[in-house]
Amino acid sequence: MDFASQHRQRARDALSNLGFDAEAVSSFDDKTLDRLVSAKFDLPGRLRAATCDGLEKAGLAPGDVCFIMSKLQGAVAGPGPGSTTTGGDLGPESAAMAGVSATDALVFQVAKAVKQLKPMLEPLLQRAYGPRSRSSAQSEYRPAALQYYTGEPQPRHATCAVSGVQLPVQDVVAGHIYQRRWPPTKGVKIDDPPNLMLMHREVEQHFDNFAFTVTPVELKVVLLDKKRKDKVLFEYTDDGGRQKSVKLGDLDGRLLAVAAGTAPSEYALSVHVASAFDHALQRQWCSAADIPPTVRCDRELFQGFLRDSASGGSSGSGGSSGGTMM
């Protein structure tokens, strides 16, 4: 077993010690396990002391955060060590004990139920809105994205469109703008290059989780999670041999580094930016006054679509309520 596999197994063991059964542990992918290890949550004691904010800062997807927090709360309010009862209900009183809001408590309960019913709900989950994509089929669409943005299907280097830094191609992923697990839409072909952006893998993670978004037309980066502006996303060596780093705050206000004629889909960016601002407003990362006029228009159209869809009045193409669902 190699070094990475050993650490992932430690993370699985920590999850098992928390009370997850084998099937639940297997539902955590390698990327999530690696993030648990990086944040030292592979240590049982540290994982038992984890908080919602701590897990989010470790880079876990919201669904995984909710699932783990529901189990943690089960350990607080449940029957105790050695019990075979799963527990984990996060009522108002126990939510207060855990330091989370009543809304988060409801999310934890729903996340637990969804995880348990996942085999039956898989077709529905594929249509669920969410703030993160799972880029598990990179080999299928990445060459086309590289060809579109660099002119070569297998270049040695590629530029991260968001940071503007040229990187070894192995450090660059083709991240979806309109995410793969959002509802199907006629507005964009999901794996076509205009719905993809070349980004450093850490930049993609934060784009998927709405820490920042990119405005359509202007192609301007807007930082939403300003509290994490000092987080270092990646380091690189410049042409002069100097070591440099890119922080989340460095991205704010940048224009996308894409060549003329290769701009991403305006439709996909419109949906992402509307979803991201809804998510940010709910998390109190910003206020309505912070929303640019052009984005405000996109967001109003987006919310109108959601209302129509909920009332059965619309059968058109959809956007994402990634923020509104969280």
- Looking at residue 222, its pLDDT comes to 94
Q: Which of 78, 97, 125 is the last residue of a domain?
A: 125
- Looking at residue 176, its pLDDT comes to 94
Q: Which of 125, 147, 182 is the last residue of a domain?
A: 125
For residue 172, is it within any domain? yes
Let me know whether 248 and 169 are in one domain: yes
Please state, in angstroms and as integers, the Cα–Cα distance from residue 306 to each residue in 20, 97, 179, 269, 317, following that order: 35, 35, 17, 17, 11
Instruction: State the Cα angle at 75 between 69 and 76, rounded to 5°.
Output: 90
For residue 322, is it within any domain? no
Let me know whether 169 and 299 are in one domain: yes
- Looking at residue 153, its pLDDT comes to 83
For residue 29, is it within any domain? yes
- Looking at residue 102, its pLDDT comes to 56
Q: How many residues does the chain have?
A: 326
Cα 45 from Cα 31, distance rounded (Å): 21
Cα 309 from Cα 295, distance rounded (Å): 21
Let me know whether 174 and 265 are in one domain: yes
Q: Which of 125, 147, 166 is the last residue of a domain?
A: 125
Let me know whether 78 and 196 are in one domain: no
Q: Which domain holds residue 113?
A: 3-125
What is the full per-residue pLDDT of the chain (326 aa) written as tens digits?
677 888 899 999 999 888 888 878 888 888 889 999 999 998 878 898 888 888 888 988 877 787 788 777 665 433 333 333 334 444 444 545 445 555 555 555 565 565 555 554 444 444 444 455 444 446 789 999 999 999 988 899 999 999 999 999 999 999 999 988 788 888 889 999 999 999 999 999 999 999 999 999 899 999 999 999 999 999 999 888 999 999 999 999 999 999 888 989 999 999 999 889 888 988 899 888 877 766 655 555 555 544 444 444 333 333 333 333 33
Let me know whether 147 and 247 are in one domain: yes
Let me know whether 31 and 153 are in one domain: no
Q: In which residue are the tokens 């077709």 written?
A: 123
For residue 262, is it within any domain? yes
For residue 266, is it within any domain? yes
Let me know whether 163 and 253 are in one domain: yes
Let me know whether 149 and 114 are in one domain: no
- Looking at residue 104, its pLDDT comes to 54
For residue 318, is it within any domain? no
- Looking at residue 306, its pLDDT comes to 47
Let me know whether 30 and 113 are in one domain: yes
Q: Partners of 25 in the beta sheet?
A: none
Let me know whether 112 and 229 are in one domain: no
For residue 319, is it within any domain? no
Let me know whether 60 and 31 are in one domain: yes
Convert 294-307 to b/e letters by CB count within 10 Å (16 or more is b): ebeebbeebeebbe
| Structural domains counted in the chain | 2
What is the distance of C-alpha 310 from the center of its chain? 24
Let me know whether 192 and 273 are in one domain: yes
Angle of the 293-310 helix axis to the 266-282 helix axis, nearest 10: 90
